[in-house]
Chains A and B, each alone.
Chain A
Amino acid sequence: MKQIYWIPLLILFTWSLLAILAPVLRLHPDQILLDKILLTPNFTQWFGHDDLGRSISARLIMGARTSLSVAIVVVSISLIVGTFIGMMSAWLGGIWDKLLIMVVDLFIAFPGMLLAIALAGLFGPGVMNTVIALSIVSWVGFARLARVQTLSIKKRDHVIAGYALGTPSLIIAMKHILPLIMAPIIIEATFIFAGVVIAEAGLSFLGLGVQPPTASWGSMVRDGTRYMLIAPHMVLAPGFAILSLVLCINFIGDYLRDKMNIKEISKS
Chain B
Amino acid sequence: MLFSISTLVFLLIHLIPGDPIEVMLGETASLGDREALRHSLGLDLPILQQWWEYLRGILQFDLGESLHSKQAVTQLLSERLPATVILSVASLFVAIVIALPLGILAAIYKDSVWDRLAMLAAMVGVSVPNFVMGPLLILIFALWLGWVPVSGKDGMSSLILPALTLGSALTAILSRMIRTSMLEVIQEDYIRAARARGLSEFRILGLHALRNTALPVITILGMQFGSLLAGAVITETIFSWPGIGQLMIDSIQKRDYPVVQACVLLISFTYVFVNLITDVTYTVLDPRLKIDT
| Bound Cα distance from A225 to B135, whole angstroms | 7
Decide: B249 and A113 in contact? CB cutoff 8 A. Answer: no
Whether, in the assembled complex, A124 has its beta carbon less than 8 Å from a beta carbon of chain B, the answer is yes
Decide: A118 and B223 in contact? CB cutoff 8 A. Answer: no
What residues of chain A lie closer than 8 Å to B237, measured between beta carbons? 205-206
A201 and B131 in contact (CB under 8 A), knowing A111-B268, A118-B264? yes
Q: For chain B, residues 123 to 137, give those with C-beta under 8 angstroms from any C-beta of chain A.
A: 123-124, 126-132, 135-136
Whether, in the assembled complex, A163 has its beta carbon less than 8 Å from a beta carbon of chain B, the answer is no
Decide: A228 and B138 in contact? CB cutoff 8 A. Answer: yes
Q: Mark interface residues in A109-142 (1 if CB within 8 Å of B CB, else 0).
A: 1111111011101111000000000000000000
What residues of chain B lie closer than 8 Å to A235, measured between beta carbons? 135-136, 139
Whether, in the assembled complex, B238 has its beta carbon less than 8 Å from a beta carbon of chain A, the answer is yes
Q: Of the 9-residue stretches A47-55, A176-184, A242-250, which lies at the interface with chain B?
A: A242-250
**Chain A residue nearest in CB terms to B223:** A268
What residues of chain A lie closer than 8 Å to B1, measured between beta carbons? 105, 109
Question: Which residue, B4, B252, B260, B267, has most C-beta atoms of chain A within 10 A?
Answer: B252
Decide: A122 and B127 in contact? CB cutoff 8 A. Answer: no
Whether, in the assembled complex, B170 has its beta carbon less than 8 Å from a beta carbon of chain A, the answer is no
| Bound Cα distance from A242 to B130, whole angstroms | 11
Whether, in the assembled complex, B217 has its beta carbon less than 8 Å from a beta carbon of chain A, the answer is no
What residues of chain A lie closer than 8 Å to B227, measured between beta carbons? 111-113
Decide: B234 and A114 in contact? CB cutoff 8 A. Answer: no
| Bound Cα distance from A155 to B138, whole angstroms | 56
What residues of chain B lie closer than 8 Å to A201, measured between beta carbons? 129, 131
What residues of chain B lie closer than 8 Å to A60, measured between beta carbons? none
What residues of chain A lie closer than 8 Å to B30, measured between beta carbons? none
**Chain A residue nearest in CB terms to B124:** A247
A239 and B230 in contact (CB under 8 A), knowing A1-B116, A109-B268, A246-B127? no
Whether, in the assembled complex, B13 has its beta carbon less than 8 Å from a beta carbon of chain A, the answer is yes
Per DSSP, chain A at the interface is helix
A225 and B238 in contact (CB under 8 A), knowing A111-B226, A117-B248, A235-B139? yes
Q: Mark interface residues in A188-207 (1 if CB within 8 Å of B CB, else 0).
A: 00000010001001100111
**Chain B residue nearest in CB terms to A241:** B132
Decide: B131 and A205 in contact? CB cutoff 8 A. Answer: yes
Whether, in the assembled complex, B199 has its beta carbon less than 8 Å from a beta carbon of chain A, the answer is no
| Bound Cα distance from A105 to B271, whole angstroms | 13
What residues of chain B lie closer than 8 Å to A102, measured between beta carbons? 4
What residues of chain B lie closer than 8 Å to A225, measured between beta carbons? 135, 138, 238
A112 and B230 in contact (CB under 8 A), knowing A124-B18, A206-B249? yes
**Chain A residue nearest in CB terms to B1:** A109
**Chain A residue nearest in CB terms to B275:** A109
The contact of B127 among A118, A194, A228, A264, by CB within 8 Å, is A194
Decide: A113 and B135 in contact? CB cutoff 8 A. Answer: no
| Bound Cα distance from A113 to B232, whole angstroms | 11
Whether, in the assembled complex, A106 has its beta carbon less than 8 Å from a beta carbon of chain B, the answer is yes
| Bound Cα distance from A258 to B144, whole angstroms | 41
Separation in Å of the B248 CB from the closest CB of chain A? 7
Whether, in the assembled complex, A212 has its beta carbon less than 8 Å from a beta carbon of chain B, the answer is no
What residues of chain B lie closer than 8 Å to A218, measured between beta carbons? 131
**Chain A residue nearest in CB terms to B227:** A111
Q: Mark interface residues in B219-237 (1 if CB within 8 Å of A CB, else 0).
A: 0000100110111011001
**Can you list 13 residue pairs at the A/B interface with Cβ under 8 Å?**
A1-B119, A1-B120, A106-B4, A109-B5, A110-B5, A113-B231, A114-B233, A114-B268, A118-B12, A221-B131, A225-B135, A232-B139, A246-B129
Q: Which 4 A-B pairs have the closest CB atoms?
A: A111-B226, A121-B252, A113-B230, A239-B132
Other 7 A-B pairs with CB < 8 A, given A111-B227, A205-B237, A246-B128: A109-B1, A114-B268, A117-B252, A122-B13, A202-B234, A251-B123, A266-B223
Binding site for B on A (CB under 8 A): 1, 102, 105-106, 109-115, 117-119, 121-124, 194, 198, 201-202, 205-208, 218, 221-222, 224-225, 228-229, 232, 235-236, 239, 242-243, 246-247, 250-251, 254, 264, 266-268
